[in-house]
Every structure is written in C-alpha cells, then in structure tokens.
Amino acid sequence: MRGIIIRSATIFLTLLSLTTFGVWVAHFSNAQAKSPVTASEIIRLTNEQRLADGLLPLSVSPQLQLSAQKKAEDIVERNYWSHNTPEGEPFWVFVQDYDWRYLGENLAANFNTAEKAMTAWLNSPSHRANILNPLYQDIGVGISENIIVVLYGQQKTHLWESLLSHLLVPPILKLNVFWF
C-alpha cells in the first residue's frame, strides 16, 4: 500500500512539474512572439502606415540598412543620444554608397516592441513627417541593444544630377535633409 502511495505521489508531482513547466514555456514563448523589435518589423509597420495614408511602401536599401546599423552601433559604443556624432558630424556621415537626393532619420531607444516605437514616432509630428514623407522611396533600419535607427531616403536618378552634385556642390551644402 505504501508503495502505491509513493508511486502515485511521484507520478502526481512529475505531472504537476511538467504542466507547470509547459505553462511557463507557453507564456514565455507568447511573450517573445508578441513583437520583438526587429528591422523587418519596423519596416513592415512603416509600410503599413504609409499604405494606410495612400503612399507607396518603401523599398529596403542594403546601403541604408548598413548605414543605420553603423549609426546604432556608434550610439551604443560611444554612449551618446543625438542625430549628430559627439564631434558634431551630421547623421549622413554614416551613409555610404547611397547617392541621396533626400535623406531623413528617426531614432528611438528603450522600446520593447516595434509597435511601441512606431506609436511614439507617429505621435510626434516631426517623426511622423519622416515616416509619411512622399519623397522617400527607400528605408534602412539598424538596431543595437536598445537603440533603433531608421534611415529614409531617395537616391538621385539622373546621371547629370549626380555629376552636378559631385562637381559643383560641396558635400556639406547638400542639405535636402529631413531629420528628427
């Protein structure tokens, strides 16, 4: 009789621990699956909002992705919070191999979901203007630790435009920039 009670108690405790562990894993998985902050999620939410406002979606630019990632990592490594570097350099110093006509930047920190970051930007007129700027065609998102950097842009499309820009206009004067 005593053996039956011990076996029953062992089975009960095993089932209880497995059930508790299963509930904990399910809860943890659901919490993780809710909406982690990823570049693809920021891009999806951006394009969702643009479509809702009658605008074309943005295309992912590998150059802007790389530039945004470099900027996010720089902010974390050098511990600053600004569109400009600690030396006062503007954000577009991170943008390479992307001959831009228009360029903008949104920054966010300490958001645990992409939805919360997007809501904050959409509630800010200047950040919303970047997201919904009809001049932008491309997007790149960089994330490092708790820092999100989004770059929006439009490349020059005509050879003459690119040549004139490089020959006649000093780089610092190319200021068709929206940044927030």
Report the pLDDT averaged over residues 149-162: 81
- Looking only at the bridges linking them, the beta strands covering 147-155 and 59-60 are unpaired
Distance in angstroms (rounded) separating the CA atoms of residues 177 and 55: 20
Q: Distance (Å, rounded) from C-alpha 62 to C-alpha 140?
A: 7
Which pLDDT belongs to residue 64? Answer: 98
pTM of the complete model beyond 0.85? no
Q: Measured between alpha carbons, how far is 98 from 46 in angstroms, rounded to an integer?
A: 21
Mean pLDDT of the residues in the chain = 80
Q: How far apart are CA 124 and CA 118, in angstroms?
A: 10
pLDDT at position 15 is 46
What is the mean predicted confidence (pLDDT) over 123-129? 97
